[in-house]
Structure 1
Amino acid sequence: MTAELLDVEITSLGAQGDGVGAADGVPVFVPLTMPGDVARVALKDKRRNSIYTDLVEIVSASADRVDPVCVHFGACGGCQLQYMNKDTYRAWVKGRATMALNQHGFEGVPVLEPLISPPASRRRIALKAMKVAGGVVLGFNERQSHKIINANMCPVTRQELSALFDPLRSLLSATLAPKMAAGVHMTLTASGVDMMIDAPMALDLAARERLVEFANTHDIAALHWKDSGFLDPVAIRREPVMDFAGNRVPLPPAAFIQATAEGEKALVGAVFEACKGYGRVADLFSGIGTFTFPLARDHQVMAAEGAKGALDAMKVGLSVATGLSQVITRHRDLFRQPISARELEKIEVVVFDPPRAGAAAQVAEIAKSPVPRVVAVSCNPNTFSRDARTLADGGYVLESVLPVDQFLWSPHLELVGVFTKR
């Protein structure tokens, strides 16, 4: 059955970056379009309040449309917004933050100009791989699909990582069993590339030697092989470390760090500025210490983290750090056992940076506390706004929000919100 076709004039952008038009007063969402486009679309899904479509062709292009820079654009599921010029994209990033805030009653809160990471800046990526008849397909998933795009370049990734795509393809082709899938995590650290390959097979001697040769040839700092949860340190040529305010902190294999150095600098700068003039700081969901180390130059810090590996790495960094104020670490699952309002009584600033699900239980305790300032860092504008509403209901005023975009040309966005107790 042939899908119904419709011509739609795009007048705005939705929260996920899809173009939005209208048909008989009902919003029509069209991927890969922007305001000013007239698009021919195939109807895919009709609901009571919206219509979802697939793009067939651009009948008339917006004057603000530019040519995508990636040869995989349209197939690869990442970087879907590269057809927008810089001004349109920047305005959308700011509008994305404003839209999420407005939906939770924060109209009028100042949204600062976004800080957007440039192309070729992603230092942490996760690739998919599959052994097929002709070798190995290695790259990223298609949009809304598990099919892998065989990538030979990536315009948002650091060159040190994208240069490894073809050598990795050869390595995995010689190592994986037929039809076997694998994941490859790569992080560019201060001491080189940290790599973890996740595949359901134990290494024999030949495979192990092949991996060691690969690490030596391409100057990989550390290469781990993960099989059914077992982590095998195949080649540790240098310890992967991150540099936080001049302090070298070990990075556990495939551990979380901010996606770009530029994004990390923006987030740390915003947090540091918001804490000026205050004393004791609680850094909650601290990870390996992205905010803890810079803050500890001027503040006493209590750092709480649920992942023991991350906290242990921070402790190693603290053990050799110099020029820092007192840092107290706590191993604490902040989802199940949040720091209570009573425990926060002597804290002057709470900084929290939770996963995408937000920090509902922890924020409920912060809202009940007397802490005069709260700095919320979030990678999800929707859960940020939900948590902000809890703080506002507890007597906090949201003073400003800074959007930080580390995932260029995508809907993913981080926010830094600064709150003060009334």
Structure 2
Amino acid sequence: MSDPVTRIAAKGDGLTEGGQHVAGGVPGDVLAADGTLVRGPHHVDPPCRHFPQCGGCQLQHADDAALAQFVSDRVSFAAESQGLVPGTLTPPHLSPPRTRRRATLHAARLGKKLVIGFREGGSHRIVEMTECHILHPRLFALVDPLRKLLASWGGKLAADIQLTLVDTGIAAEIKGISAENLAQTEALLDFAREHSLARLSVDEGFGPEPVWEPEPATVTLGGTPVSFPHGAFLQPTADGEAALLSAAREWCSGHGIVADLFAGLGTFAFALAGPAKVLAAEADRGAHLACQAAARASGKPVHALHRDLFRDPLTADEISKFGCVLLDPPRAGARNQVDAIAQSTASRVAYVSCNPQSWARDARRLADAGFRLAELRPVGQFRWSTHVELASLFLRD
């Protein structure tokens, strides 16, 4: 008896009407009685030759309609798991191919060959990258030159390479190598100069140290140039960032003083500042100092606060002073801070999340305190990935 695939499950496999999980299944496919998968109208040929071995993508076999449904389902099912129904569930936003502006690649010497790319799913094995449909073209253009650079390095090599597209080019950080002589130092400088890098840093195990940075690397957030510290968080695509900022502006504008919690470099704070005054609270010292310096230099009404909101959340009394509270916590969520929000007199909360499960737990706490989930916006910045983000608005009368 055939069993139709009705949706894509959280880890990327197809789920049939009969409850079976099928690798590579998408809605519209049919699991035949003999166990074979019959393709449906939403099953497409993957654009990349490295799929499915490369762990950078899990869903290249799904068309845009199936991808959009997956992103929407992940978010709406998370809400339903806590008994929450949004007043409005917007159509999901999907970032286009080749727009990822940050990524971490891996490099290793295998015999006489130097391989570089993403790892296989659930493995340390590196897939040799010869094409990529998610990386921004400027990042991908650096892969082959990096391969040639690292191939000249002596000894056994295993390195992680973090690439980020910033205002003045690419900030590259290589962890796992060291320049042990003048020739290697000159090779790094020549590489950075030839490819017009914004910054090239090397981490020998004691933290990244710049070897090339002709001028301070910055990212522009809300029209404000902000220094880009090593390891700082940046939304993975400019397109996805714009979608999240659109929600934040719509929900927070015109509501007086705004609290931006887990503010990072100030992605939301600088977009919302003026005429609103914004408190930007962040635990990471490098990000806090970058936000603070940019606020002072730009004159924007952003007050940067260095505070660990996991251990020392804003209190209910402090939260009650703000017209709108925006939070964008790490994947673990914001349990303690949400508890304080629930106990405050706040009536408007914009919650941005990269983890629907932890968000749903926090959302339930807000609902128990009298908030209603007014709007839910699914966002798929990590195209062809099972990683899903969202923006949500909670209101309390």
Asked if TM exceeds 0.5, the reply is yes
Quote the Cα distance in structure 1 between the aligned partners of 2:373 and 2:314.
Answer: 21
AA partner of residue 410 (structure 1):
S
Partner of 2:254: 277
Partner of 1:34: 26
Consecutive unaligned residues in structure 2, runs of 5 or more: none
Structural RMSD (CA): 2.0
Partner of 1:223: 200
Question: Structure 2 residue aligned with 1:340, among 302, 315, 320?
Answer: 315
Quote the Cα distance in structure 2 between the aligned partners of 1:351 and 1:276.
Answer: 11
Decide whether the 8 Å contact of 1:282 with 1:351 is kept in 2. Answer: yes
Quote the Cα distance in structure 2 between the aligned partners of 1:58 and 1:166.
Answer: 39
AA partner of residue 113 (structure 1):
P
Equivalent pairs, count:
397
Partner of 2:7: 12
AA partner of residue 13 (structure 1):
I
Quote the Cα distance in structure 2 between the aligned partners of 1:283 and 1:230.
Answer: 29
Please state how far the C-alpha of 1:109 moved relative to its aligned partner: 4.0
SS at match of 2:151: helix
Quote the Cα distance in structure 2 between the aligned partners of 1:147 and 1:382.
Answer: 29
Please state how far the C-alpha of 1:221 moved relative to its aligned partner: 0.9
Decide whether the 8 Å contact of 1:186 with 1:254 is kept in 2. Answer: no
AA partner of residue 173 (structure 1):
A
Q: Which moved more, 1:408-417 or 1:83-92?
A: 83-92
1:327-374, Cα deviation, whole Å (9 max, x unpaired)? 222111111111111112211111100111111111111111111211
Quote the Cα distance in structure 2 between the aligned partners of 1:192 and 1:203.
Answer: 27
AA partner of residue 116 (structure 1):
L
Please state how far the C-alpha of 1:190 moved relative to its aligned partner: 1.2
Please state how far the C-alpha of 1:41 moved relative to its aligned partner: 11
Quote the Cα distance in structure 1 between the aligned partners of 2:32 and 2:169.
Answer: 47
Partner of 1:47: none
Aligned ranges 1:148-159 → 2 under 5 Å: 148-159=126-137
Quote the Cα distance in structure 1 between the aligned partners of 2:345 and 2:155.
Answer: 58
Aligned ranges 1:4-403 → 2 under 5 Å: 9-21=4-16, 27-39=19-31, 59-107=37-85, 109-175=87-153, 177-178=155-156, 180-199=157-176, 201=178, 203-322=180-299, 324=300, 326-403=301-378
Decide whether the 8 Å contact of 1:131 with 1:137 is kept in 2. Answer: yes
Decide whether the 8 Å contact of 1:182 with 1:198 is kept in 2. Answer: yes
Please state how far the C-alpha of 1:311 moved relative to its aligned partner: 0.6
1:148-187, Cα deviation, whole Å (9 max, x unpaired)? 1011221011000001111111111112531x31100000
Quote the Cα distance in structure 1 between the aligned partners of 2:158 and 2:119.
Answer: 13
Quote the Cα distance in structure 2 between the aligned partners of 1:420 and 1:195.
Answer: 42
With over 3 angstroms needed to count, the CA separation of the structure-2 counterparts of 1:109 and 1:369, relative to structure 1, is same
Please state how far the C-alpha of 1:11 moved relative to its aligned partner: 3.1
Decide whether the 8 Å contact of 2:261 with 2:282 is kept in 1. Answer: yes
Q: Which moved more, 1:167-176 or 1:251-260?
A: 167-176
Decide whether the 8 Å contact of 1:15 with 1:99 is kept in 2. Answer: no
Identity %: 40
Please state how far the C-alpha of 1:92 moved relative to its aligned partner: 1.9
AA partner of residue 17 (structure 1):
G
Please state how far the C-alpha of 1:294 moved relative to its aligned partner: 1.0
Quote the Cα distance in structure 1 between the aligned partners of 2:391 and 2:286.
Answer: 26
Quote the Cα distance in structure 2 between the aligned partners of 1:174 and 1:123.
Answer: 27
Please state how far the C-alpha of 1:202 moved relative to its aligned partner: 5.5
Quote the Cα distance in structure 1 between the aligned partners of 2:279 and 2:6.
Answer: 48
Structure with the larger RCO, 1 or 2 (CA within 8 Å, 6+ apart): 2
Q: Which has the higher strand share?
A: 1
What is the TM-score when the length of structure 2 is the normalising length?
Answer: 0.95
Please state how far the C-alpha of 1:245 moved relative to its aligned partner: 2.1
With over 3 angstroms needed to count, the CA separation of the structure-2 counterparts of 1:202 and 1:33, relative to structure 1, is same
Quote the Cα distance in structure 2 between the aligned partners of 1:164 and 1:409.
Answer: 22
